[in-house]
Structure 1
Amino acid sequence: MTTATHTSRAAPAAARRLSTLDRWLPLWIGLAMVVGLLLGRFVPVLADLLMHLGVGGISIPIALGLLVMMYPVLAKVRYDRVAAVTGDKKLLVSSLVLNWLVGPALMFTLAWVFLADLPEYRTGLIIVGLARCIAMVVIWNDLACGDREAAAVLVAINSVFQVIAFAFLGWFYLTVLPAWLGLDTQGLEISVGQIALNVLIFLGIPLLAGFASRFIGERRKGREWYEEKFLPRVGPWALYGLLFTIVLLFALQGEQVTSRPFDVVRIAVPLLIYFAVMWFVGILTGKVLGLGYARSSTLAFTAAGNNFELAIAVAIGTFGAASGQALAGVVGPLIEVPVLVGLVYVSLWLARSWFHTDPFASERVKP
């Protein structure tokens, strides 16, 4: 790839062509997490500032970081190939099943198994499971040489379903299903407008910008200039935006995370299981369906990732910034970031050992 998005020990020859910044991506991510936690712990006014600089429960600085992170990846999408993805019914149906049936049900089960005695954390975890990923997944997919066009389509589908289904699923998994099972129930107040605003900001803006960049750039300068000159210049900003976003997210509740380590561990255990299970089920499904490495990897990462921005906003808006539900939402990216970075390495290894393909030589499935 031409951007700051590949760190593969599984492909040393490719890695030697990468800059130091790219090659040591896990280190930079780890440092960003530590810096964020320390800022949240020792500069608590920063967390207050991040929450006050917000619209509809969405922190503007975090939103800017995510937009900077997503734009270069979406600018690389070949939108003329999207039609080939929409015709892949196996990919689309399996993604919908994993994201909107398996994912929420699995998180509900894990939350009750591991946090039955901690209702606030349990509720926060269930909310995380309901918020399907529409932002950071594009980075993990790109790191793993997944199918960019497929990722764009699946993220768009998740966005539509998020607007339609999130409030209903929240009511079902927090009120109806627990009542049927004789368990404690929790309410969830969330408007369709708030979810739509989240989707518009985290997907609509960067998607429109990415499409406009390719359309205008290719018309004025040609595809060769766009692919070989423009994209390498904007590519590294995906990494900069990712690191900036991680620092802010971890600073948001760094004080609570560092002052309640045992609670964080309790929340982390079901999250670790959730991310691992969803990812492996996703890539296994792709393999069984014969989707090929690129689309199988995309299916796996879109199934495992979660929209922590929405989960945190909903938890804070409904239960308060200092609530256990909000803490569970913040622990989500605390676990998701390192786990999915690790799964990028696993994905690249499986590309060679299981799918018998070079992920760097074939970054996407050609139509």
Structure 2
Amino acid sequence: MTTARAADPAGAPDPAGAPDPAGAPGPAGAASSRDDGAGVVARLSTLDRFLAVWILLAMAAGLGLGRAVPGLDDVLAKVETGGISLPIALGLLIMMYPVLAKVRYDRLDAVTGDRRLMASSLVVNWVAGPAVMFALAWIFLPDLPEYRTGLIVVGLARCIAMVIIWNDLACGDREAAAVLVALNSVFQVLAFGLLGWFYLDLLPGWLGLGDGENLDISMGKIALNVVIFLGVPLLAGFLTRRVGERRLGRAAYEERFLPRIGPWALYGLLFTIVLLFALQGETITSQPLDVARIALPLLVYFALMWFGTFALGKAIGLAYDRTATLAFTAAGNNFELAIAVAIATFGVTSGQALAGVVGPLIEVPVLVALVYVSLAWRRKFTPAEPAAAAAPRNPAP
């Protein structure tokens, strides 16, 4: 969020190399300053300082509402179009718009020219991610085919929404996040159905694991999901920056306008979390053992994907900001698409739908924790990087 980085009103680390509140020098690699813990906390707003608390409270509030208000989940489920929940769509749009309004779109060429980043993202998201989830689903849930199928569907739905928030909180590269999310969106439309057939129908038969599942989902529905959850906020953010810079100038736009809309990203995130858990509060709280069995492979999945991809980014020589972006785009999943596919194909009360719902239940707190892990890594190791590796990829204009 914008308030988390006092060194740059737009919320990005200061390109001139001034230390930021996360405790590490800016990307220019000035290793002379490092804030202590008290300095970091003092520069954070109340919203950002207690982010984990607000998210846990939002999850608890959603679960409580789902249990306390009879029929609330049915009411929320009916407010939808094309299988997409309108209240959740509203929350995601509010969440993504401020972050996408911060992206400096004139710098995207520097990202698309980074072949290491682009190739690594494609391999990790569309080869490694689905394969890892397939393996974990069969290892941990060999006797529960419905939950197993639901987890595989979650693994196929690569993240195009919340990853932007996690990346921003971890001081990742905003421009890289925008490009990788757009890349995932294109591949989601083209590859989701094909990979669903491969992992649910073809591969189990090849491996002698039994009969496969038929995943009936149209390319049009996936494309609609992408347009709503990425296309709309991306267009709004792009137009806001273009018009804002033209009327106010870049300095005024970033110093006066962005801090005003920045907190809305967190409001949208918390609103979305409350709705998600209210929709399935009764189901989750009434089946704790099933939730625990689904949660275990998810925990392993998020850990393997994030730490493995972070290590990959360091191994191929990416700077911290792009390494963090690569790791978060690999670890996150498009839970809205996974839930919509599970409900449309197997039914709202199916085990596959429950597995989809447990996805954000585990993903949200785990990725919040990984934001703190990422920032700790940044504080500890970024100052020691060689100047060439730490030099800003997107220099100040």
TM range, smaller chain = over 0.9
How has the CA–CA distance of structure 1 residues 363 and 154 changed in structure 2, closer, same or farther, with 3 Å as cutoff?
A: farther
Deviations 1:73-98 (A, max 9, x none): 00000000000000000000000000
Deviation at 1:11, TM superposition (A): 5.2
Given candidates 44, 55, 66, the residue that maps to 2:92 is 66
Q: Secondary structure at the match of 1:354?
A: helix
Query: 2:394 aligned with 1:366, yes or no?
Result: yes
Deviations 1:261-305 (A, max 9, x none): 000000000000000110011111110111110000000000000
Given candidates 264, 289, 292, the residue that maps to 1:237 is 264
Deviations 1:156-213 (A, max 9, x none): 0000000000000001000000011111311110000000000000000000000000
How has the CA–CA distance of structure 1 residues 14 and 158 changed in structure 2, closer, same or farther, with 3 Å as cutoff?
A: same
Conserved? CA contact 2:150–2:354, under 8 Å: yes
Provide the rounded CA distance (Å) in 2 between the counterparts of 1:115 and 1:365. 44
Query: 2:375 aligned with 1:348, yes or no?
Result: yes
Deviation at 1:8, TM superposition (A): 5.8
Conserved? CA contact 2:302–2:363, under 8 Å: yes
Deviations 1:59-113 (A, max 9, x none): 0000000000000000000000000000000000000000000000000000000
Deviation at 1:51, TM superposition (A): 1.2
Provide the rounded CA distance (Å) in 1 between the counterparts of 2:289 and 2:182. 37
1:49 counterpart residue number:
75
Given candidates 156, 159, 165, the residue that maps to 1:130 is 156
Given candidates 330, 339, 361, the residue that maps to 1:312 is 339
How has the CA–CA distance of structure 1 residues 357 and 63 changed in structure 2, closer, same or farther, with 3 Å as cutoff?
A: farther
2:251 counterpart residue number:
224
Deviations 1:143-167 (A, max 9, x none): 0000000000000000000000000
Normalization by structure 2: what TM-score? 0.89
Provide the rounded CA distance (Å) in 2 between the counterparts of 1:8 and 1:255. 39
Q: Which amino acid aligns with 2:369?
A: G
Deviation at 1:236, TM superposition (A): 0.2
Normalization by structure 1: what TM-score? 0.96
Conserved? CA contact 2:298–2:362, under 8 Å: yes
Conserved? CA contact 1:134–1:307, under 8 Å: yes
2:290 counterpart residue number:
263
Q: Which amino acid aligns with 1:224?
A: A
Structure 1: 5+ residue runs without aligned partners? none
Query: 2:99 aligned with 1:34, yes or no?
Result: no
The 5 A counterparts of 1:241-256 are 241-256=268-283
Root-mean-square deviation over aligned CA pairs: 1.8
Provide the rounded CA distance (Å) in 1 between the counterparts of 2:120 and 2:97. 27
Q: Secondary structure at the match of 1:132?
A: coil
- How many residue pairs match? The answer is 364
Deviation at 1:55, TM superposition (A): 1.3
1:172 counterpart residue number:
198
Q: Secondary structure at the match of 1:356?
A: helix
Conserved? CA contact 2:95–2:264, under 8 Å: yes
Query: 2:333 aligned with 1:279, yes or no?
Result: no
Provide the rounded CA distance (Å) in 2 between the counterparts of 1:255 and 1:81. 46
Provide the rounded CA distance (Å) in 2 between the counterparts of 1:12 and 1:201. 41
1:189 counterpart residue number:
216
Conserved? CA contact 1:4–1:236, under 8 Å: no
Structure 2: 5+ residue runs without aligned partners? 6-10, 12-20, 24-35
Deviation at 1:365, TM superposition (A): 3.8
Provide the rounded CA distance (Å) in 1 between the counterparts of 2:361 and 2:84. 18
Q: Which amino acid aligns with 1:334?
A: L
How has the CA–CA distance of structure 1 residues 203 and 335 changed in structure 2, closer, same or farther, with 3 Å as cutoff?
A: same
Is the radius of gyration larger for structure 1 or structure 2?
2
Given candidates 124, 127, 133, the residue that maps to 1:101 is 127
How has the CA–CA distance of structure 1 residues 21 and 180 changed in structure 2, closer, same or farther, with 3 Å as cutoff?
A: same
